[in-house]
């Protein structure tokens, strides 16, 4: 198993990249402007691509280089570009109705990181891995997941919700690179393409939302109840 025989340097490099990704999701959680949100997402994807390459290098998994390049191209460049184009077209540049102020959202985010740490530490202890990078990887994976859900819950702009979903998947990507680098390549490749399809769908749907409901805020989606 890779995480049990890591050199200290590799271990700290992985930790650094994981922590950077976690911090970037806090940047997203704390920003009101959709563009900042988008840039933070792109930067997070680059950090994850770097992590893939680092795991590939230290764990000698050559196929992870391919994953790194694809992550960089799709999640780091192409997806942000497509979403940037949607933002330009919609002329919506910030969240207008906030349920939770960014400052309070940051506090809730911090609490969810603590929760994730508690769960991961419990799992790490059960597996006798509490002294390795596995606990950190699991914590970051679960925290990004929880922060993604938090963003889905407190944001209403269609674009924010799309980004929230992508953040959810980023968390899984990040964790799986460290924990299960040997997971079949086929699946990871298909997931990358799958995401692209998702965003294409979303692009179409956002267009529809604009023409038929006249708004891209989920708060206006209130006809179907009961």
Partner 1 sequence: MVGGLLLALALAPLAAAIGCLIWRGARCCEALNLMASAVSFACAVPLPLLIDGRALLYWNNYVIIDRLSAWVMLCTAIVYFLASIYAVGYMRLLNEEERLFRFYALFAGFGLTTLIGPLMNSVGLYWIAIELTTLVSTFLVAFERVAESMEAAWKYIMVVSAGISLALLGTVLFYWAGSFVLGPRYQMTWAALAGAAPRMNPVLILLAFLLVVVGYGTKVGLAPMHTWLPDAHSESPAPVSAMLSGALLNTAMIGIVRFLAITRAADLGALPQLVVVAFGALSLLVGALFIVRQQGIKRLMAYSSVEHMGVVALGFGFGGALGVAGALYHMLNHSLNKSLMFFGAGNMMRAYGTKDIALIRAVHQYFPSQGGLWLAGAVAITGAPPFGLFFSEFTIMRGGLTPSFSWAVDVMAVLLIVIFVGFMNHFRRMYYSPAQAGCTAPAGKVSAWCAVPMWLALAPLLVLGLWWPAGVWNYLTSIAAALSAGMR
Nearer to partner 1, 99 or 201 (CB): 201
Which phi and psi (to 5°) does residue 214 adopt? 80, 15
> Pick from 8, 62, 91, 126: which binds partner 1 (CB under 8 A)?
126
User: Tokens representing 222?
Assistant: 């209130």
CA distance 8 to 161: 38
- C-alpha distances out from residue 124 to 54, 164, 171, Å: 22, 27, 18
Q: Could you tell me which stretch among 76-84, 90-98, 106-114, 170-178 binds partner 1 (CB under 8 A)?
A: 170-178
First-to-last C-alpha distance (Å) of the chain: 51
Q: State in angstroms the smallest separation of the CB of 204 from partner 1.
A: 8
Select the residue interacting with partner 1 from 175, 192, 199, 217 (CB under 8 A): 175
When asked if residue 121 is in the footprint of partner 1 (CB under 8 A), the reply is: no
How many CA atoms lie less than 13 Å away from 114 in the CB half-sphere?
A: 6
Give yes or no for a contact between 34 and 57, defined as CB atoms under 8 angstroms apart. Answer: no
Residues that bind partner 1 (CB under 8 A): 1-2, 119, 122-123, 126-127, 141, 145, 148-149, 152, 158, 161, 164-165, 168-169, 171-172, 175-176, 179-184, 186-187, 190-191, 194, 197-198, 201-202, 204-205, 208-209, 212-213, 218, 221, 223-224, 226
């Amino acid at each position: 198993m890779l995480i049990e025989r890591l050199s200290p340097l590799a271990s700290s490099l992985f930790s650094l990249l994981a922590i950077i990704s976690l911090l970037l999701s806090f940047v997203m959680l704390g920003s009101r402007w959709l563009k900042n949100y988008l840039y933070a997402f792109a930067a997070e994807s680059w950090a994850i691509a770097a992590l893939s390459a680092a795991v590939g290098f230290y764990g000698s998994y050559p196929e992870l280089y391919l994953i790194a390049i694809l992550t960089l191209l799709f999640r780091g460049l192409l997806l942000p570009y497509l979403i940037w184009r949607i933002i330009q077209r919609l002329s919506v540049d910030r969240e207008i109705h906030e349920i939770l102020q960014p400052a309070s959202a940051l506090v809730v985010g911090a609490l969810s990181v603590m929760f994730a740490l508690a769960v991961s530490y419990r799992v790490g202890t059960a597996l006798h891995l509490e002294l390795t990078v596995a606990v950190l990887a699991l914590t970051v994976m679960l925290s990004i997941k929880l922060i993604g859900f938090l963003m889905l819950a407190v944001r209403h702009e269609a674009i924010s919700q799309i980004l929230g979903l992508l953040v959810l998947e980023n968390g899984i990507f990040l964790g799986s690179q460290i924990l299960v680098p040997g997971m079949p390549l086929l699946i990871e490749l298909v997931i990358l393409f799958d995401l692209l399809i998702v965003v294409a769908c979303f692009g179409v749907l956002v267009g529809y939302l604009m023409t038929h409901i006249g708004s891209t805020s989920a708060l206006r989606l209130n006809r179907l109840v009961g």
